[in-house]
Structures are given as C-alpha cells and as structure tokens.
C-alpha cells in the first residue's frame, strides 16, 4: 500500500490537489478494497477525484452516469439484437442457433460489466448515484459485494479484476444505509484558500502565484455571500482562465473587469443581481 | 529466540491484541450510541487497520477510522470530537441526544399547553398578522385576496375562512374531494401516455421468434414497473390554522381515498399519524375521528419538533424517492426555528418535492416574516397559497408533473 503522502504527490502530479484526508481515503480504498463514496456540494471536484485516480493508476476510467430510470440493460449488459437477428436469418433451421446467438459474441458490455472484465483493474466511477432509483441502488449493492454478474442465458460471469470504485453523490436523495455501509465515506468540501490557490496554479496556465491567491481569496469571499448557487472549483478555474486571458495580473488594477467577469462565477440571475459593483468592491477590499 | 529480553512472547502479543480488540469494540459501542450505524464488517476492517500500523499514528488512525465509520455528513462532522474524547481523553462539548426527553414534556395536556402558550404570548406572534378567528369573516379589513371581487359567490374563489354557511362548507368538502380525485386521474392518464412509448423487449422478442426464423412476428413490449407517486400530507392543526383545518381535513380524506399511495399526519405541538383514522370510507365518521385527534390543539405550533419526530420515526417507512411531501401550515413556529430549518433540510434530502401550502399567503400584504416559515422556505420546492378551492386547483398541474 502506498502511503498517503505518496498518493497526495501522485494525485498532484496528475493535476488534482488533494488534502491529506482524501489521500488517506484513497490509501484505505486499496487496503480494505472498499468503494469510496464521495459526498459534497456540486462543483467541489468529486468527479475529478476519479479521473485523477485513473491517471495515478495509469488505468482506464469507466464512467456510469446515473439518472432516474437507469436500468440494468443500460448499466450492465445488453444483447446485440441486430446481429442476433441477422444470425438467426442466416442460420434458419439450425437447431443450435439459440445457443449461438446468446453467446459472448453477441453480448454488448455496458459500464458495470466492462469494469469487472478488464484485464487491468480500471477505475469505475458511478457518478451521481443519488439520481438513480432505489431499485438500482439495491442492484448495485449486490454487484459491489460479489463482483460477479448473472446473465440468464450465460450463467454467472465472475470478475476478472476488482475495479477501484468511486461513487459520487450530491445529496439530493438520502442513500440507503446498506450502500453507505459498504463504502468508505469522504465528505468533499469547498477547498480552503491555500488549496484553491494551488489548484489554480496547477490547472490554469499563465496564472501567477499572487493572482491565484487573490482569485482564491475573492472566491472564498463570494462563497460566504448569500447565494443561490455557490460557485464551485470549475467556476473558479473558468474565471481564472478568463482573467489570465484578459492579461490581468492584479485584481485591484481592474475592478470593473473583475466585476464584469464575475459571470464566470455567478450562474443565476438573482446571484448576479445580489453581487453589485459595491459588493465586488467590498470583496476586493478584503483581498490583499 | 522467543525469550529475548524486550521482544514480547506469544502470550503477551495475544494479550495485547485482545486488549486492542476490546478497546476497538468499546469504541464501536460509543459510535453506535452516538447514532453511527456500524456493523461487524467495519469492526473487522478496523482491526485490519490497527494491525497494519495505523495504531502507532493517532492522526492517521483518526482519518482512517473517520472514512471507515462515517456514512453521512452528520457522522463526518461529529467524528473527530468522538475520536478525540475516546482515544485521546479530550473533553468534547456534550450534545444532548434528541427525542425522548423532550417528548414527555410535550404530550400530557394539550389544553394546558394551549393556556400556557396563550399566557406567554405564544400566540402573540400569530396575532401580528392573523386576525382572530371570530371576527375574520366580517372584518372586511382588506385582508383577503378576494376582498375586492364582487360577491358572486363563486365558491372556488371564496376564502375558506368565510365559509360559514353549512351548505357552502359541504360543497367545499365535495369539491376538495373531487380535486383530489382529479389529481389522481391526471396522474394515471400521464402514466398511460408514458406507457404507450415503452420500448420493445428485444431479448424476449428474439427468444420468442427463433422458431419463426428470426422474423419478429410476435413482439414483446418491455413492461415497466408501475411506480405511483406517494403523497404525504402534514397538516398543521394548531390554533392559528383552526379556520382552515376542517376544509383541509376533508381534503386529506379525499386525497387518502383517491391516491393509491398516500399518508397523512397532523401536527400542532406534537405529531400524530392519522392515515388509518382517515381511511374510513364514511367521510363523516372519518372526520369525527380526526376532529377528536386534532382537538385540544391550538396552543403554539412546534413544527420543528413535529418534523423531527416525523424524520426520526416515520420518514423511513412512508417516504421514498417518489414521494411528495405536502405541508399545510401558516409557518408560525413557537418552538425552535433553527431546528425547523435543519429538519426541513433533512426531509428535503429524502423526498422528491416539498410543497408548502400556506393559507395566509393569499392575504394582501402578507410576507413570510414568521421565523418558522423563513427557516423552512429555502428547502421548499413550491410555496403556494391554499386558502380557496381555486388555489388548490392551481396545484393540480404541478402535482401531475411529479
């Protein structure tokens, strides 16, 4: 097992600045072979964790985006019906055609089946699990505990490798205790100024340390305002890229541009109206 | 070799590991007492961590245990304190456990509470905006939205408070039941429309048509499980709502009768489960039973505590992801408004939508100033007036969309 410092460094090398807690969680994932459940507000970088993890392990990222009504055939496997029909037509009258068309050759892998059938363990990202139905959650529980799949026509397909599973949830629906208990839990919060500065530096080409620090401080101030939609890290990065693109090196030099470019951070009409030029000025005042 | 001075013998190691196991087990008990849901598998993993060298580094162990034992944000937030208290002997500020202790104090005499809260000016806040029930119908002080309209006796527009005439009340009751029925019919129609669009079940189709040489003669449609919307109604039966309670009781009766899945609760200073009482086919009898359950209320409204009881004891059973919770209340909270906010947030995470119906909302000049409603509003998906049949009908398309 890699130590958490090594993991934090490896994540940083792949562009994800993790805090010590998250590095511990990832080292535990490997030690205990449990899925990692990441919960937190939208935009705090939950999905990015899985992407970075795939880079660290130099392996494939298989993503299952959950939505209401997601069922087994979209998540697990499906038969290739067109090819099956063609094969049946071509071998009309053959007795063994039924066995043939329900063989691996005609099986279409969907993310979950793909994840357990890869020769090298991939990272399986089950994104926004809270959007899926209760039934799907229960089904997932079975898959995640046994890592094998039953296909009526083929029998049981065991896992070749056990994937590194990351689940994310925005907390829009309460997940079942059974699922929570199977997972390691990590709450992803908005980053502090220091971490956000490092994230900007790592991700935005051309951002200077002093500008990155100013941006991180101002975003921290904005998050404390009463907003309907608090800006996440992706928004911060957009804004930083916009400022760098406009050749701004110090926020105090161009308060008007700063205010105008806040559209990168504020995504609702009310929030835009709430952060007036005066508010921007006040926030800028706190940014040393 | 085993007798070398400092290295512990087999028995010593055994004793140490037993000691550690006992300590971990005690910690698990502490966590369970604090509301963590920790099972045997977590206990085994904790032992694995202890033997993997985590025990020597308290900070690392705390972080590892935190990920292992927490399952939700609430656990996450209180874990460090519990860990430090147990393993490092630090003092943490004790948090009073919920439920139980406060409940006894609430229940004994509703009448007594009513009097007490009246004395304490508990209803003072109510009086700020709500005219007293006696003079309301004739007050004519411009508080009803329909005040300016001509007296056409269009029942749909009449504020429930003004329904003094028994005939009108009966009509209102009938209309409320019809509305509940309409909501249900609308939903069913929608279900059917959706069903027409269902895809073929190609796997079954192919299985069935192999004997036809693969020509899909007999088609199998994918059957989708019917998942009805569940409506959970929480009706405020406190004094400030007394003018509206009877109409809403009738409405709830209609809802329970018409919806395939519906549950109802009443609350004032405590929460009462009334679905069973309302499932009486005879509307009159059902209302009698309910009126008895709602009686004696009127002394303050503890919405937060009632919701806490609901979340703690009923939510897991009556709420699933296709549930819409409908709270009918004026939002005058005489208890802890912050608690109300917290419980609303918890409720909102569980269900699909929260609809808050406020009869006072249609009043001219009404603004949600009461502490309770202010704390609750951020967690409400639809905040609507419900003082007349018209306003209830306006909800239909919204409910049909759920």
Residue A203 has pLDDT above 80, yes or no: yes
| CB burial of residue B218 (10 Å; 0-12, 13-18, 19+) | exposed
Query: Residue B207's pLDDT band (boundaries 50, 70, 90)?
Result: confident
Do B350 and A20 lie within an 8 Å CB cutoff? no
Query: Which residues does chain A have within 8 Å of residue B48's beta carbon, measured at their own beta carbons?
Result: 31-32
Do A101 and B206 lie within an 8 Å CB cutoff? yes
Residue A108 has pLDDT above 70, yes or no: yes
Cα–Cα distance between A63 and A50 in angstroms, integer?
9
For residue B119, give how far its alpha carbon lies from the nearest alpha carbon of chain A (Å).
37
Both tokens of B385, joined, read 């007036």
The residue with tokens 């009108």 is B168
Residue among B48, B215, B321 whose CB faces A32 most closely: B48
Residue among B75, B206, B350 whose CB faces A84 most closely: B206
The residue with tokens 């808050």 is B356
Do A85 and B216 lie within an 8 Å CB cutoff? yes
Mean per-residue pLDDT for B6-23?
67
Residue B397 has pLDDT above 80, yes or no: no
Those of residues 271-330 in B touching chain A at CB distance below 8 A are 320-321
**Higher-confidence residue: B127 or A227?**
A227
Mean per-residue pLDDT for B395-402?
66
**Higher-confidence residue: B171 or B316?**
B316
Residue among A79, A98, A172 whose CB faces B210 most closely: A98
Q: Which residues fall within 8 angstroms of residue B399, CB to CB, at 6 or more apart?
A: B183, B186, B187, B229, B231, B324, B355
| Cα–Cα separations (whole angstroms), residue B69 to A177, A185, B28, B35, B111 | 12, 8, 9, 11, 45
Could you give the dihedral angle defined by the CA atoms of residues B332, B338, B342 and B344, in that order, rounded to the nearest 10 degrees?
10
Query: Residue B296's pLDDT band (boundaries 50, 70, 90)?
Result: low
Residue A52 has pLDDT above 70, yes or no: yes
B44 at A interface, C-beta within 8 A: no
Nearest to A18 by CA among A168, A204, A166, A199: A199
Least trusted range by pLDDT, from A56-60, A147-151, A185-189, B215-219: B215-219
Query: Residue A196's pLDDT band (boundaries 50, 70, 90)?
Result: very high
CB B229 within 8 A of CB B402: yes
How high is the pLDDT of residue B102? 34
How high is the pLDDT of residue B163? 57
Percent pLDDT > 90 in chain B is 3
| Cα–Cα separations (whole angstroms), residue A254 to A101, A243, A278, A282 | 67, 10, 14, 14
Do B70 and A98 lie within an 8 Å CB cutoff? no
Do B42 and A181 lie within an 8 Å CB cutoff? yes
Total residue length of chain A = 288
| Cα–Cα separations (whole angstroms), residue B398 to A97, A238, B159, B188, B331 | 51, 36, 21, 14, 22
B81: alpha, beta or left, given left = phi > 0 and alpha = psi -120 to 50? alpha
| Mean confidence (pLDDT) of chain B | 70
The interface predicted TM-score of the complex, written ipTM, equals 0.78
How high is the pLDDT of residue B141? 35
Q: CA neighbours within 13 Å on the CB side: how many for B352? A: 20
CB B277 within 8 A of CB B310: no
How high is the pLDDT of residue A240? 95
Mean per-residue pLDDT for B248-274?
80
Cα–Cα distance between A142 and A150 in angstroms, integer?
11
Those of residues 218-247 in B touching chain A at CB distance below 8 A are 225
How high is the pLDDT of residue A112? 93
Q: HEC profile for chain B?
A: CCCCCCCCCHHHHHHHHHHHHHHHHHHHHHHHHCCCCCCHHHHHHHHHHHHCCHHHCHHHHHHHHHHHHCCCHHHHHHHHHHHHHHHCCCCCCCCCCCCCHHHHHHCCCHHHHHHHHHHCCCCHHHHHHCCCCCCHHHHCCCCCHHHHCCCCCCHHHCCHHHCCCHHHHHHHHHHHHHHHHHHHHHHHHHHHHHHHCCCECHHHHHHHHHHHCCCCCCCCECCCCCCCCEEEEEEECCHHHHHHHHHHHHHHHHHHHHCCEEEEEEECCCEEECHHHHCCCCHHHHHHHHHHHHCCCCCCCCHHHHHHHHHHHHHHHHCCCCEEEEEECCCCCCCCHHHHHHHHHHHHHHCCEEEEEEHHHHCCCCCCCCHHHHHHHHHCCEEEECCCHHHHHCCHHHHHHC
**Higher-confidence residue: A173 or B402?**
A173
Please name the residue of chain A whose CA is at the shortest distance from the CA of residue B378.
A228
B76 at A interface, C-beta within 8 A: yes
How high is the pLDDT of residue B139? 34
B80 at A interface, C-beta within 8 A: no
B13 at A interface, C-beta within 8 A: no
Alpha-carbon torsion A262, A268, A192, B49, what sign? Answer: negative
Residue B106 has pLDDT above 60, yes or no: no
Residue among B49, B76, B349 whose CB faces A185 most closely: B76
Nearest to A187 by CA among B232, B356, B69, B110: B69
Cα–Cα distance between B33 and B55 in angstroms, integer?
23
- Digit-coded pLDDT (tens) for B332-381: 888 888 889 889 988 988 887 898 888 887 776 777 777 788 888 888 88
Query: Residue A138's pLDDT band (boundaries 50, 70, 90)?
Result: confident
Nearest to B360 by CA among B389, B333, B330, B334: B330
Please name the residue of chain B whose CA is at the shortest distance from the CA of residue A107.
B203
- Digit-coded pLDDT (tens) for B128-151: 232 333 333 333 333 333 333 333
Query: Which residues does chain A have within 8 Å of residue B58's beta carbon, measured at their own beta carbons?
Result: none
Cα–Cα distance between B230 and B320 in angstroms, integer?
8
Query: Residue B189's pLDDT band (boundaries 50, 70, 90)?
Result: low
How high is the pLDDT of residue A127? 94
Model confidence pTM above 0.80: no
For residue B378, give how far its alpha carbon lies from the nearest alpha carbon of chain A (Å).
9
Query: Which residues does chain B have within 8 Å of residue A36's beta carbon, measured at their own beta carbons?
Result: 67
Q: How many CB atoms lie within 10 A of CB B385?
A: 20
Do A171 and B75 lie within an 8 Å CB cutoff? no
Least trusted range by pLDDT, from A85-99, B33-47, B96-110, B345-359: B96-110
Do B350 and A174 lie within an 8 Å CB cutoff? yes
Mean per-residue pLDDT for B71-79?
87
Residue among A25, A39, A79 whose CB faces B203 most closely: A79
Interface test with B, best of A184, A226, A229, A270 (most B CBs within 10 A): A184
CB B28 within 8 A of CB B43: yes
Do B67 and A184 lie within an 8 Å CB cutoff? yes
How high is the pLDDT of residue A61? 96
For residue B369, give how far its alpha carbon lies from the nearest alpha carbon of chain A (Å).
18
Query: Which residues does chain B have within 8 Å of residue A34's beta carbon, measured at their own beta carbons?
Result: 45
- Digit-coded pLDDT (tens) for A267-288: 888 889 889 999 999 999 888 7
- Digit-coded pLDDT (tens) for A226-238: 888 889 999 999 9
Residue among B37, B52, B64 whose CB faces A181 most closely: B37
């Amino acid at each position: 097992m890699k130590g958490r410092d090594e993991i934090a460094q490896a994540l940083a090398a792949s562009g994800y600045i993790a805090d010590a807690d998250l590095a511990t969680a990832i080292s535990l994932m490997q030690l205990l072979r449990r899925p990692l459940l990441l919960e937190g507000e939208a935009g705090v970088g939950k999905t990015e964790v899985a992407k970075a993890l795939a880079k660290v392990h130099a392996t494939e990222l298989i993503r299952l985006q959950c939505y209401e009504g997601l069922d087994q055939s979209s998540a697990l496997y499906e038969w290739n019906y067109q090819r099956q029909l063609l094969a049946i037509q071509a071998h009309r009258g053959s007795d063994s055609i039924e066995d043939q068309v329900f063989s691996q050759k005609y099986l279409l892998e969907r993310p979950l089946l793909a994840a357990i059938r890869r020769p090298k363990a991939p990272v399986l990202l089950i994104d926004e699990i809270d959007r899926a139905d209760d039934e799907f959650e229960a089904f997932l529980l079975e898959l995640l505990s046994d890592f094998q799949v039953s296909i009526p026509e083929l029998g049981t397909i065991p896992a070749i490798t056990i994937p590194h599973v990351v689940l994310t949830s925005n907390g829009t629906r309460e997940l079942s205790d059974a699922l929570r208990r199977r997972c390691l839990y990590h709450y992803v919060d908005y980053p502090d100024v220091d971490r956000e500065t490092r994230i900007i530096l790592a991700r935005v080409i051309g951002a200077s340390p002093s500008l990155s620090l100013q941006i991180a401080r101002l975003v921290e101030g904005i998050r404390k305002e009463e907003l309907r939609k608090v800006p996440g890290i992706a928004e911060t990065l957009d804004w930083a890229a916009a400022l760098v693109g406009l050749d701004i090196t110090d926020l105090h030099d161009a308060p008007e541009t700063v205010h105008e470019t806040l559209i990168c951070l504020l995504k609702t009409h009310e929030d835009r109206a709430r952060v007036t030029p005066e508010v921007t000025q006040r926030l800028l005042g706190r940014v040393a | 070799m085993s007798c070398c001075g400092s290295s512990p013998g087999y028995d010593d190691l055994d004793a140490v590991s037993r000691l550690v196991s006992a300590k971990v087990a005690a910690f698990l008990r502490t966590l369970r007492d604090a509301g963590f849901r920790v099972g045997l598998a977590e206990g085994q993993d904790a032992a694995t961590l202890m033997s993997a060298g985590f025990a020597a580094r308290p900070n690392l162990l705390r972080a590892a245990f935190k990920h292992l034992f927490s399952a939700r944000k609430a656990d996450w937030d209180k874990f460090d304190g519990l860990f430090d208290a147990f393993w490092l002997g630090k003092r943490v500020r004790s948090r009073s456990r919920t439920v139980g202790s406060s409940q006894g104090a609430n229940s004994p005499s509703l009448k007594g509470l009513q009097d007490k809260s009246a004395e304490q000016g508990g209803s003072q806040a109510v009086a700020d905006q709500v005219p007293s029930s006696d003079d309301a119908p004739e007050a004519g002080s411009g508080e009803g939205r329909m005040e300016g309209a001509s007296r056409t006796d269009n029942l749909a527009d009449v504020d429930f408070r003004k329904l003094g005439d028994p005939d009108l009340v009966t009509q209102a009751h009938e209309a409320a039941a019809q509305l509940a029925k309409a909501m249900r019919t609308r939903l069913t129609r929608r279900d059917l429309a959706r069903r027409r669009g269902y895809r073929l079940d190609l796997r079954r189709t192919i299985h069935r048509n192999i004997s036809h040489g693969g020509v899909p003669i007999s088609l199998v449609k994918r059957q989708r499980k019917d998942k009805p919307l569940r409506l959970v109604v929480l009706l405020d039966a406190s004094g400030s709502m007394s003018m509206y309670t009877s109409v809403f009781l009738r409405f709830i009766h209609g809802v329970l009768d018409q919806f395939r899945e519906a549950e109802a609760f009443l609350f004032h200073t405590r929460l009462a489960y009334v679905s069973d009482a309302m499932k009486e086919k005879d509307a009159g009898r059902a209302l009698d039973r309910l009126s008895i359950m709602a009686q004696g209320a009127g002394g303050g409204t503890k919405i937060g505590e009632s919701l806490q009881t609901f979340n703690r004891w009923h939510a897991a059973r009556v709420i699933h992801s296709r549930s819409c919770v409908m709270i009918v209340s004026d939002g005058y909270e005489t208890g802890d408004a912050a608690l109300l906010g917290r419980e609303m947030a918890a409720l909102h995470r569980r269900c699909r939508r929260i609809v808050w119906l406020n009869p006072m909302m249609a009043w001219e000049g009404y603004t949600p100033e009461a502490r309770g409603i202010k704390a609750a509003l951020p967690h409400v998906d639809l905040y609507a007036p419900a003082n007349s049949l018209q306003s209830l009908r306006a909800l239909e398309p919204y409910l049909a969309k759920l």
